[in-house]
Amino acid sequence: MAQVDTVQAGFLKLLMLGGALLLTLPAGCVHTPAADRNPLAEWVPSPNYEPRRPILIVIHATEQTSVQRSLDTLRSHNRGGPVSAHYLIGRDGSRYQLVADDQRAWHAGAGRWGTITDVNSVSIGIELDNDGAAEFPSAQIDSLLALLTDLCDRLRIPRTQIVAHSDFAPTRKRDPNVRFPWSRLAEAGFGIWPAADAPPAPAGFDPWQALQLIGYPLDDRAATVRAFHRRFRGTETDTLDEEDLRILHALTQERQQP
C-alpha cells in the first residue's frame, strides 16, 4: 500500500506541475491545438486574436410539417445532402440551437449578397418552423426578436444585416415566404424598411443600381424582383412599378446616410 501511495503522490505532483505550466503559457499557446498550426512556418503565437464573428443573419422557413421533423433534417440531410442551421424556432416560440455561433453551419447554399459570395462562412442561420405558406404566429416572431436582440448585441452584428434566404438566392429559394412580417422586425429595429413618408423616386432613378447597392444579385432580374417583392410588398410579381421605385430610393438613401 505504501508503494501505491507513493505512486499516487507522484502522479498528483505531476498534475499540479502541469497545471502550473498551463497557467504560465501565453493565451495563444493554450487555445491553439498543434493540429491547427502550419508545419511550413515556425509557431510564434500572439495573444491578439478572437474567434471569427458572423456579420449577417439569414432567416429561413423550414418548409416542413413539424419541429421534430426539422430537427431530424437539420441533424442529418435533405435531398441536397447534409444541412444544418444555428437555430430553429417553433411556432410556439420554442428555441433550439444546433450549431455554435462561432461555427459554420450549412444553411445558405449557393448565392450572393453584395460582395459576400460564401454566406455560410459569415452568417448565422435561423430556421422558422413553417410549411412555406402559413402565417407566422406572434409567439414565434416574439421569440425571433428576442434571439435577434441577443445575437446582434452579443456578436456585434449590425441590426440592418438581417436578410431572407430568398434575398441572396432568388433563383433557388422563396423562404421565409410572402407572409413573413418584415415590417414588424423593422418596428423593433431589425432589417431595412422604407420610411412611410418617403417621397417618390426622382426622374432618372435607376432601380437596378439600387437593388445591387442594397445587396441583391442581378443574374436573373425577374427572380430578384420577386425576392424584393416578397420582402417589401408581400407579393411575388416580377415587374417593377412606381411604388417599387419609391421604396428602393428610400432604402438607398437610408443606406447612404452616416
SS3 of the chain: the string is: CHHHHHHHHHHHHHHHHHHHHHHHCCHHHHHCCHHHCCCCCCCCCCCCCCCCCCCEEEEEECCCCCHHHHHHHHCCEECCEECCCCEEECCCCCEEECCCCCCCCCCCCCCCECCECCHHHHEEEEEECCCCCCCCCHHHHHHHHHHHHHHHHHHCCCCCCEEEHHHHCCCCCCCCCCCCCHHHHHHCCCCCCCCCCCCCCCCCCCHHHHHHHHCCCCCCHHHHHHHHHHHHCCCCCCCCCHHHHHHHHHHHHHHHCC
Choice among 42, 127, 135, 187 that is catalytic: 127
Q: Which residues have CB under 8 Å from 37's CB, separation 6+?
A: 43
Catalytic, 127? Answer yes
Beta bridge partners of 124: 57
- Which residues are designated catalytic? 127
